[in-house]
Amino acid sequence: MTQTLRNSPPRRYLPVIEEGARGEFWRCGADGVLRITRCQSCGHYIHPHRDACPQCHSRDVTPEAVSGKGTLETWTVNRQKWFRGLDEPFAVGAVTLDEQAGLNLTTNIVNCDLDALSIGMKVRVVFENIEDTWLALFEPDTAKQ
């Protein structure tokens, strides 16, 4: 029986990354910049990626750099060891990016005391690289506002 080392990275199920703009969200962390698809006609951000804007139906959409800063809207802490190799507890949160109301990402909140999480706290992106995937996770933004 194989034992998981204490300092091994957490087990992740990685997405199948498509070519082009559709897969950009999973690759953009390579240079540390979060990119979200944006409509070039009306400026609406679209996440997850779509090939057409839900606001104006334009197909002129492309990933654009965003600040990587947002607000924690809600979260839950998983304390269940669903499978071997899973490091619990961990937080799953809904983050709204500063760029647009309702521009939400479901992600993990990391690098913090789980008991210190609060609705409305400011967070910033931090990437976790596994193979050719960069996962956009969020941590408390301790920078002065």
Contacts 24+ apart (CB under 8 A), 98-102: 98/66, 98/67, 98/69, 98/70, 98/71, 99/36, 99/45, 99/66, 99/67, 100/44, 100/45
Q: Which is nearer to Zn ion, 11 or 59 (CB)?
A: 59
**In this structure, which amino acid lies at residue 132?**
D
Contact between 12 and Zn ion (CB under 5 A)? Answer: no
Contact between 44 and Zn ion (CB under 5 A)? Answer: yes
Tokens of 18: 């498509």
Residues 55-114 that bind Zn ion (CB under 5 A): 55-56, 58
Q: How far is the CB of 40 from Zn ion (least distance, A)?
A: 8
Options 25-33, 49-57, 72-80, 127-135: segment touching Zn ion (CB under 5 A): 49-57
Q: Which residues bind Zn ion (CB under 5 A)?
A: 39, 41-42, 44, 53, 55-56, 58
